[in-house]
Structure 1
Amino acid sequence: MKVRYLKILFIGAVLCLACTTKVSEWVLLNETPENYVLVYFHKRALTAEEIQQNAKLEQELDGANVVFKTMERREIEKPYYALLYNNRIVSDFENYKALQDLAVSPIRNKIASELKGGKLCVLLYLKSGNNKKDEVGLETINNTLKSSLFGNIISVVELNRNSVDESLLVSMLLSIESDLKEIHEPMLFGVFGCFRALEPLLAKGISEGNINLMLDFLTADCSCLIKDNLPGRNMLYSGKWEDSQPALVNAIIDSNPQLLHH
């Protein structure tokens, strides 16, 4: 995660005329999740079967932050689907069957439930596969939350980098920055709002100081500077956010006035 950039935003929130709504709550209540684009690339005119299949797909994706398109490309060997974000491919799929869990998955459902329930954030820990490194990072995360007043309103979710069921979520996380797929280190993503994931803390960057800086950002009073320069990226998810519960962070801050000056 670009820690220096996060510091600038946090300081800006303090210096600017800010509202008393915290960043995490404002984003949850006001943000419209950014759209992905799903494209069906085909070689020739669509058949009746393809048209029917794609119409069904659009119905299934209704409510998800994704736009569906078709595009003819005669140079390809066979038709396929590709998921893009900002014109960059996140993942591709051989056929319609491979898209069955495009907008939902067990971990995405769990994270969304926690966020809609008022949690400050979910710390999504993407493990590297190196047990020693993964254990060190997880211990740091848990120790930091134990000493934080916000620890009880933050969930930690572990994710295996090679998970089959969550392969698309892994691909989305690793596409937040252009070089993440080449880095085989533990990564910690702060997820907040309507499933928005911050740029990750990596390896030794998963420290008590950096995690607390992330929490300072999420619990800061919101400001125009933050609203206009919101870091991170929304994950693809199908679900309604209108029924989200009030942020649990407010009760903690109300009962700990010293946090207003942190």
Structure 2
Amino acid sequence: MPRILFPIAGLFVVALVHACNIPVFRYALERWRPDPCEIIVFHREPVTKSQHQTIGSLETLAPTYDGPTHLRVILSNVGGDQEPDHRELWQSLPDDAKSKAIHEPYTVVRCKVTQGRQVNVWHGRLSEVKALGITQSPARDEMSRRLLAGDSVVWLMIRSVNESKNARARDLLRSQFETLADKIELPEGVGLPGSELFADVPLLLKFSLLEIEASDAKEQFLIKLLTGMQQEAFAAGEPLLVPVFGRGRALAVIPASDLNEHRMEDLTVFLSGACSCQVKEQNPGFDLLISTDWDTELFGADGEVPADTPQRQRQTSKPKLLTIPKGK
């Protein structure tokens, strides 16, 4: 198989031949555990019993795997010893935010996005956090349901104020779903040693569209995260398109004007092709906070959970950086 090169909205990917024949979207579903987000609770005074209870409830919002939790809650005493990055984050907050921390702990929700960069999605009083819907919302529940039912990629569209652009983006996606499902073939050799599947989820090429309104009160945490990555385009009336696969991994946030048939095919070829680089951190994308207990849903309470990338490969694999030509 030749190299597959494609650029889109600042996203550059190289796919190389590898012994693993599992499609990227399926390998991610079974083996890539989501990256954690951080809830950093800044406080000046000792945390009260009721505040500790609130903090404890936040820690239960996401499932804990045999390893790091999908959501990490960190206490940071602004009057004591702080981690350097927490101190820097605290100092970057507005003065009015810092003054609020005198009376009640002040909270920042920080998530890891593309290429390891972290963004502050929200900040406010500790008492306001629970109502945010950090890990759960109707759209994310539906994404989880579809991915576990066998959808290869769920295309999330955040509708803009420009209805004609929304319609064009919708028509492009829907017209390409059937075309690409018929045109692209899954890799051969799935099920052979090194390419085993462990979950009962059907393996097929299936794509779907999920639309949400930017004004939807139940989706504000998700919307703020995604629109914050393409602020200028969204403010200019561009709907945003987000291909989601695996366990809620967003490949990119793409303004609709940056997507065409050729680029959509390139993205689909990459996600449907053999998982050439099994090390999650060397692949593009970032994880959305979703409250699904993926291991239990996929393999059952007592089922066999496949190991992620072997430690030896993590140590020896290095990303290959190539010059990417301009797209069509």
- How far is the alpha carbon of 1:116 from its aligned partner? 1.2
Residue in 2 aligned with 1:168? 221
Task: Please give the alpha-carbon distance, in whole angstroms, between the structure 1 residues aligned to 2:18 and 2:57.
Answer: 48
| 1:244 equivalent among 287, 295, 298 | 298
Decide whether the 8 Å contact of 2:62 with 2:292 is kept in 1: no
1:210-236 Cα deviation digits (max 9, x unpaired): 111111011111113774521110001
Decide whether the 8 Å contact of 1:2 with 1:199 is kept in 2: no
- Fraction of identical pairs, as percent: 23
Residue in 1 aligned with 2:163? 131
SS in 2 for 1:39: strand
Change (3 A) 1:194 1:60: closer
Change (3 A) 1:115 1:46: same
- The residue type paired with residue 130 of structure 1 is N
TM-score relative to the length of structure 2:
0.66
TM-score relative to the length of structure 1:
0.81
| 1:146 equivalent among 165, 174, 178 | 178
- How far is the alpha carbon of 1:3 from its aligned partner? 2.3
- How far is the alpha carbon of 1:56 from its aligned partner? 2.8
| 1:103 equivalent among 130, 135, 150 | 135
Residue in 2 aligned with 1:33? 34
Decide whether the 8 Å contact of 2:41 with 2:126 is kept in 1: no
SS in 2 for 1:149: helix
Task: Please give the alpha-carbon distance, in whole angstroms, between the structure 1 residues aligned to 2:269 and 2:11.
Answer: 10
Change (3 A) 1:6 1:95: closer
Task: Please give the alpha-carbon distance, in whole angstroms, between the structure 1 residues aligned to 2:242 and 2:176.
Answer: 15
Q: Map 1:1-262 to 2 at 5 A.
A: 2-3=7-8, 8-9=13-14, 12-13=15-16, 16-63=17-64, 65-73=70-78, 76-78=98-100, 79-86=105-112, 87-100=118-131, 101-149=133-181, 153-175=206-228, 177=229, 180-184=230-234, 185-224=238-277, 227=280, 229-242=282-295, 243-244=297-298
Change (3 A) 1:77 1:2: farther
SS in 2 for 1:156: strand
- How far is the alpha carbon of 1:97 from its aligned partner? 4.2
Moved more, 166-175 or 23-32: 166-175
1:103-145 Cα deviation digits (max 9, x unpaired): 1111100001111112101011111221111111111111111
Moved more, 17-26 or 102-111: 17-26
- How far is the alpha carbon of 1:40 from its aligned partner? 1.4
Residue in 2 aligned with 1:254? none
Decide whether the 8 Å contact of 2:61 with 2:291 is kept in 1: no
Decide whether the 8 Å contact of 1:118 with 1:244 is kept in 2: no
Task: Please give the alpha-carbon distance, in whole angstroms, between the structure 2 residues aligned to 1:49 and 1:4.
Answer: 45
Task: Please give the alpha-carbon distance, in whole angstroms, between the structure 1 residues aligned to 2:169 and 2:29.
Answer: 28
Moved more, 147-156 or 102-111: 147-156
Structure 1: runs of 5+ lacking an equivalent: 246-262
Task: Please give the alpha-carbon distance, in whole angstroms, between the structure 1 residues aligned to 2:232 and 2:260.
Answer: 22
SS in 1 for 2:144: helix
Aligned residue pairs: how many? 238
Considering fraction of residues, name the structure with more helix.
1
Moved more, 21-30 or 50-59: 50-59
- How far is the alpha carbon of 1:4 from its aligned partner? 8.3
Change (3 A) 1:138 1:4: closer
Task: Please give the alpha-carbon distance, in whole angstroms, between the structure 2 residues aligned to 1:189 and 1:123.
Answer: 6
SS in 2 for 1:183: helix
Decide whether the 8 Å contact of 2:107 with 2:123 is kept in 1: yes
SS in 1 for 2:218: coil
Change (3 A) 1:228 1:34: closer
The CA RMSD measured in Å over matched residues stands at 2.5
Decide whether the 8 Å contact of 1:83 with 1:90 is kept in 2: yes
Decide whether the 8 Å contact of 2:177 with 2:206 is kept in 1: no
1:29-68 Cα deviation digits (max 9, x unpaired): 1101101001112232212221222223323444461100
Decide whether the 8 Å contact of 2:277 with 2:283 is kept in 1: no
- How far is the alpha carbon of 1:5 from its aligned partner? 7.4
- The residue type paired with residue 24 of structure 2 is V
Change (3 A) 1:68 1:150: farther
- How far is the alpha carbon of 1:181 from its aligned partner? 2.2
